[in-house]
Amino acid sequence: MPEPVLFKGARVVDPASGRDEICDVLVDGGVIASPRASSATVLDCEGLVLAPGLVDLHTHLRQPGREDKETVETGCRAAALGGFTAVTPMANTDPVADNAAVIHEVLDLARAAGACDVFPVGAITRGLEGEAMAELGEMFDAGVRVFSDDGRCVPNARVLRNALTYVSAFEAAVIAEHCEDASLAEGGQMHEGSVSSSLGLAGQPREAEEVVVARDLAVAKLTAGRLHLCHLSSAGSVEMVRRAKAEGLRVTAEVTPHHLVFGEEDLVTYDTNMKMNPPLRSDGDRSALRAALADGTIDVVATDHAPHAVEEKEAEFDQAPFGTIGLETALAALLTHLVEPGELSLSRAIEAMSTTPARILGAHDHGGPIAPGRPANLVAFDPAAGWTVEPPFASKSRNSAFLGRELRGKVVHTMLRGELVVADGKAQR
């Protein structure tokens, strides 16, 4: 059992309870306890924010199959250093996580790593091929609560309908969709517009996302199933989600830090670390995403942490893979670019990165509230600490869109069930 720890003089920001106050928080026996005189280890938290541990709804840990890019161990360490106490690794592994055996393998690796809780995502269809449903019930029994074909939407609307209907029986499960019409997106290297034309790069129109968002919302309405839309990138998608929520559909949506911070203009140097899917879009799209996050239309900030080998990203732009790592920078990116300028309250940022994703996932031990008897899954960070994003990273990969950028906000402590897995900014596992 971990030794008692007292977080002294922290600013406790807890969206689940509405708290925002300076106080002491005692952890004893792995749970939040009532502060009292004890022999606890005292952590001076003056100037620090203490919040529920972050929860990432969209992570790639690559294991099994691409351990050269990331492993469960290195990914969990990166997550802990970024303030995350729970992550959901996607199913596009090798073999694909479309059965209970692969799910159990990932869970075993996570237990051995011990740095954060792992909730594996199960594939919607066998082999991510979009044709036949995977063994959803078997994977649910193994602990899966989110089902997704990751970088592929389910192309067959009937299969999607069947999946939404099937998981509705579980109540706690959700279908997560990457919204992209492959025929419209085919060959696209970045957002289709004036910048892609000037750079001579094939573009991917925002309509490639929007037509699938429209279809998926229609199918969700038909089935009354729980639908989660991954990494939205367009203003049109935001408006459709807003209308769907007003109609009472059971839909949630996420956005990534890189889509909130960067845009198509950031690709003028042909930096492959800026090559994403969906692509970074226009200023108007970015503004719409920020406003939707602030007003709650977009529920969650997720990293879409996508590690790649150095040689892959050093290829010619049209040959490089899509994606950026993000677990170690997500919190600081939000603090620097949205919270500090006043576009987003600190409480809303924590809600979108902790409380709400924990609720969607059904991870009841995460996301707060910070209250006596609750599991001590916490993060303490310094919102004023400046740092430069540069290797080495805890992640095995270095393909960060924020590479070389100055950010403010640094994780000091991360606690998982009462154990400090990050202490004074250093990983303990």
Mean pLDDT of 11-32: 96
Residues 268-296 have pLDDT tens digits of: 999 999 999 999 999 999 999 999 999 99
Q: At residue 37, does pLDDT exceed 70?
A: no
Range(s) within the chain of domains with CATH label 2.30.40.10 = 5-48+378-427
Q: At residue 38, does pLDDT exceed 80?
A: no
Two tokens at 213? 């968002």
Range(s) within the chain of domains with CATH label 3.20.20.140 = 53-361
* Range 53-361: architecture per CATH: Alpha-Beta Barrel (3.20)
Which of the residues are catalytic? 304
Mean pLDDT of 391-403: 97
CA 341 – CA 200 distance, rounded (Å): 34
- Please tell me the CATH superfamily of domain 5-48+378-427, with its number: Urease, subunit C, domain 1 (2.30.40.10)
**Which residue from 298, 168, 289, 172 is spatially nearest to 229, judged by alpha carbons?**
298
The band of 205, judged by pLDDT with boundaries at 50, 70 and 90, is very high
| pLDDT in the model for residue 35 | 77
Mean pLDDT of 53-58: 98
| pLDDT in the model for residue 112 | 97
Q: pTM of the predicted model, to two decimals?
A: 0.97
Q: At residue 39, does pLDDT exceed 90?
A: no
Name the average pLDDT for the chain.
97
| pLDDT in the model for residue 36 | 76
Q: At residue 2, does pLDDT exceed 90?
A: no
Distance (Å) of CA 193 to CA 37, 209, 238, 265: 63, 15, 19, 10
Phi, psi of 305, rounded to the nearest 5 degrees: -55, 115
Q: Would strands 41-44 and 5-14 be described as parallel, antiparallel, or unpaired?
A: parallel
| pLDDT in the model for residue 171 | 78
Q: At residue 338, does pLDDT exceed 90?
A: yes
The band of 258, judged by pLDDT with boundaries at 50, 70 and 90, is very high
Q: At residue 147, does pLDDT exceed 70?
A: yes
CA 366 – CA 22 distance, rounded (Å): 21
Q: At residue 324, does pLDDT exceed 80?
A: yes
Mean pLDDT of 147-175: 95
Q: Would strands 406-416 and 49-52 be described as parallel, antiparallel, or unpaired?
A: unpaired
Q: Sign of torsion, CA 60 66 72 73?
A: negative
CA 342 – CA 287 distance, rounded (Å): 14
